[in-house]
Amino acid sequence: MGLLRIRQYGDPVLTKKATEVTEIDGKFVKLCQDMFDTMYDAPGIGLAGPQVGVLKRFFVYDFDGEPDVIINPEIVESDGEWTFAEGCLSIPGPHLEVVRPKTILLRCVNLDGDEIEFEADELHARVIQHETDHLDGVLFLDHLSPKMRQQALKTHAERVAELEAIAEGKVIGPDGQIVDQSDGSGIGSL
Ligand code: ZN
């Protein structure tokens, strides 16, 4: 199992535009496997290249037990509105409601190198939109009102302090164990 370091908010790689994937070789497939390991370990349901410091247009995701790799995605159509409390593995802490299109039509390349198109809606569409944003250096915070963004960053700063305290073993439970008060990441963390 290869765990990668998930780049955190403030890392300049998260605000850069990624370039197209031009070669799907063994090294790339191994990178995707390591990204799945990292995503499941986090835990989260999506992870984009820039989040592990690779500025290429691809991401891995699994929101329903069917893991998939999406390469060079392009959202060609979108429709409707859907509200969902999003979180981000690069911004631990806040989970806030973001309104985005409910249904999308995606054009992309799969791991076999074939160009494919499919429709996705609700959570499926949400994961794809969040991860595709990462490839353009856009974070879910950028979809929030200034007030909500400020609140999100405050929650994030508190969570970072909490994670540091846990890492230093300062948060001790009644039985002497190190306690991690989970921020509820998992289903909403992308
Ligand atoms: Zn994210």
Mind listing the pLDDT tens digit for each residue in 41-51? 999 999 999 99
**Ligand 1 centre distance from Cα of residue 171 (Å):** 27
DSSP code per residue over 24-35:
--HHHHHHHHHH
**Ligand 1 centre distance from Cα of residue 165 (Å):** 24
The pLDDT-based confidence of 190 (bands split at 50, 70, 90) is confident
| Whether pLDDT at 181 is above 70 | no
| Whether pLDDT at 173 is above 70 | no
Catalytic residue among 86, 119, 131, 158: 131
Region at 144 (left for phi over 0; alpha for psi -120 to 50; beta for the rest): beta
**Ligand 1 centre distance from Cα of residue 140 (Å):** 7
- 168, exposed or middle or buried, with CB in 10 Å at 0-12, 13-18, 19+? exposed
Where is pLDDT greater, at 50 or 175? 50
| Whether pLDDT at 120 is above 80 | yes
Is 74 an active-site residue? no
- Smallest Cα–Cα separation from 24: which of 108, 120, 117? 108
Q: Is the Cα dihedral 166, 171, 173, 177 positive or negative?
A: positive
pLDDT over 70, % of the chain = 91
H helix count then E strand count, the chain: 3, 7
- On whether the CB atoms of residues 154 and 141 are closer than 8 A, the answer is no
The pLDDT-based confidence of 121 (bands split at 50, 70, 90) is very high
pLDDT over 90, % of the chain = 84
DSSP code per residue over 130-166:
HHHHHHTT--GGGGS-HHHHHHHHHHHHHHHHHHHHH
**Ligand 1 centre distance from Cα of residue 41 (Å):** 15
| Whether pLDDT at 179 is above 80 | no
Tell me the pTM.
Answer: 0.91
Give the model's pLDDT for residue 25: 97
CA 96 to each of CA 7, 77, 86, 134: distance values in angstroms, whole numbers, following the listed order = 20, 25, 5, 17
Mind listing the pLDDT tens digit for each residue in 52-102? 999 999 999 999 999 999 999 999 999 999 999 999 999 999 999 999 999
